[in-house]
Amino acid sequence: MPLQEFPYAQGQLHCEGIPLTAIAEAVDTPVYVYSATAIRSNLRGYARSLATVPHEIRYSVKANSSLAVLALLGAEGSGFDIVSGGELFRVLRAGGDPAKVVFSGVGKTRDELRYALENEIGAFHCESSQELDVLRAVASSMNASPAVALRVNPDIDAKTHPYIATGLREHKFGIAVDEAESLYRDAGSWAPLRFTSLSCHIGSQIFDMQVFQEVLGQMLELATKLNRSAGRICTIDLGGGLAVGYRAEESSASIKTYGRMLSEAFRGTGFRLGLEPGRSIVGQAGVLLTRVLYRKPAGRKTFLVVDGAMNDLLRPALYAAHHEILPVRQDGGPQVACDIVGPVCESGDFLATNRALPPCDRGDLLAVATAGAYGFVQASNYNSRPRAAEVLVEGDTFRIVRVRETREDLVRGETV
């Protein structure tokens, strides 16, 4: 916030040049609406601020895996960080370059490893010695010699929500630094695997540049030390994690500041920098557009029951996350305290609580802001609700990039 690509004009909230009312009319609600310009400019922001150091940006697919978003980023030259075989399938379907794909995650199956090897992805970011064993076996059987990074767990507190912190020893992610050191020392014995890089990812929604500075210092030091003894580490991948502002008064962490800090630290080290930004590319670039079904006064507060729910956007229920609620029709009327809730049969089904909003009633449209990351990707069919449509806006045009699910879709693959 504030959202440059979602301006009010003529009393109406827009995405770029398109009034959101036009999208609701054409596609119905709930619907996710993304700004292509915002996505592209965030990616370019990284590229620009890192121009002076050799680097690779691997967009983290799990933040928003819509084919249209992946295609847009791929066309800009982005690589991809995937965490499942399904995400690789999406990247390939969207025309992404497999050579620019890195595969992270603690639980890659043999089948997923084989699928990724068949498609000759760029590197495997491995998280345990057992995973290395399995990867070595599968790679040997295919005469492949994949590039590997060990994902180390730097034991650094990301100072973020506990569910999205990943860099402490107590978390399931990564390999402890001392174990990683001994694995790299024995790199030769892991042939045909090639240990070419080092990676980490300490968590998400991180504002504190000092935290990044600490990680980056530790990773540079570790890679240098390992290269002195045995390794041939060329790339250091620092993962994703840069925060976006979810509250009206809160700015996003600056991509430019972060990029400059990284450039300065990497310049002259001889290491390539890898980054896996997700949220900071797409978070601010999307809203969930929803319509008020009922206004329901209850004692001192008012419930606005809307057609979007926790199955469409889980973040408020899952992390007690805050999303700003923007009335699509700008109205200077007196404000009322509202809870914005969905139709799902759970008291945890809310999109926002205790928000001062101008009077809203049946049929009015609301935009749930900053819903581009970890929004649609976490959607489910809970309560047998078809998943929402997705729309990509660019300038004065918009495209439906995913149609709303139908009732038939709800029972696909089932038998009585």
Ligand X SMILES: *Cc1c(COP(=O)(O)O)cnc(C)c1O
- Residue 235: CB minimum distance to ligand X, A: 14
- Residue 173: CB minimum distance to ligand X, A: 8
**Candidate residues 74, 241, 245, 327; the one interacting with ligand X per rule CB under 6 A:** 241
279 binds ligand X (CB under 6 A): yes
User: In whole angstroms, how large is the CA radius of gyration of the chain?
Assistant: 22
Please check whether residue 300 is in contact with residue 371, taking contact to mean a CB–CB distance below 8 angstroms. Answer: no
**Closer CB to ligand X, 79 or 241, in the complex:** 241
**Closer CB to ligand X, 109 or 229, in the complex:** 109
- Residue 246: CB minimum distance to ligand X, A: 13
Please check whether residue 284 is in contact with residue 246, taking contact to mean a CB–CB distance below 8 angstroms. Answer: no
136 binds ligand X (CB under 6 A): no
Near ligand X by CB under 6 A, which window of 28-36, 225-233, 237-245, 397-405?
237-245
Cα–Cα dist 320/314, whole Å: 9
Near ligand X by CB under 6 A, which window of 257-265, 272-280, 351-359, 385-393?
272-280
- Residue 166: CB minimum distance to ligand X, A: 7
The helix/strand/coil state of 304 is strand
The helix/strand/coil state of 379 is coil
Cα–Cα dist 380/389, whole Å: 13
Select which of 126, 200, 338, 345 is catalytic: 345
Bridging pattern class, strands 12-15 and 175-176: unpaired
**Closer CB to ligand X, 81 or 324, in the complex:** 81
Cα–Cα dist 396/17, whole Å: 5
259 binds ligand X (CB under 6 A): no
Near ligand X by CB under 6 A, which window of 44-52, 69-77, 276-284, 292-300?
276-284
- Residue 396: CB minimum distance to ligand X, A: 30
370 binds ligand X (CB under 6 A): no
- Residue 4: CB minimum distance to ligand X, A: 20
- Residue 211: CB minimum distance to ligand X, A: 13
- CA-to-CA dists, residue 58 to 43, 243, 261, 386, 409, angstroms: 10, 17, 18, 31, 32
81 binds ligand X (CB under 6 A): yes
62 binds ligand X (CB under 6 A): yes
**Closer CB to ligand X, 344 or 377, in the complex:** 377
Question: For ligand X, which residue has the nearest CB?
Answer: 240
Cα–Cα dist 325/7, whole Å: 14
342 binds ligand X (CB under 6 A): no
**Candidate residues 96, 122, 245, 278; the one interacting with ligand X per rule CB under 6 A:** 278
201 binds ligand X (CB under 6 A): yes
Size of the site for ligand X (CB under 6 A): 18
Tokens describing residue 295: 């206004």
181 binds ligand X (CB under 6 A): no
Near ligand X by CB under 6 A, which window of 26-34, 234-242, 294-302, 361-369?
234-242
Please check whether residue 274 is in contact with residue 199, taking contact to mean a CB–CB distance below 8 angstroms. Answer: yes
**Candidate residues 84, 280, 284, 370; the one interacting with ligand X per rule CB under 6 A:** 280
Please check whether residue 401 is in contact with residue 390, taking contact to mean a CB–CB distance below 8 angstroms. Answer: yes
277 binds ligand X (CB under 6 A): yes
- CA-to-CA dists, residue 306 to 40, 111, 339, 361, 397, angstroms: 31, 41, 10, 10, 26
64 binds ligand X (CB under 6 A): no
Tokens describing residue 246: 């979810």
104 binds ligand X (CB under 6 A): yes
Bridging pattern class, strands 286-298 and 175-176: unpaired
286 binds ligand X (CB under 6 A): no
Cβ contacts of 190-193, under 8 Å, gap ≥ 24: 190/132, 190/136, 190/148, 191/145, 192/136, 192/139, 192/140, 192/143, 192/144, 192/145, 192/146, 193/132, 193/135, 193/136, 193/139, 193/145, 193/146, 193/148
Please check whether residue 6 is in contact with residue 329, taking contact to mean a CB–CB distance below 8 angstroms. Answer: no
Q: Is 338 a catalytic residue?
A: no
**Candidate residues 87, 276, 307, 349; the one interacting with ligand X per rule CB under 6 A:** 276
For 169-267, list the strands marked E by DSSP.
175-176, 194-199, 235-237
204 binds ligand X (CB under 6 A): yes
Catalytic (active-site) positions? 345
List contacts with ligand X (CB under 6 A): 60, 62-63, 81, 83, 104, 201, 204, 239-242, 276-280, 373
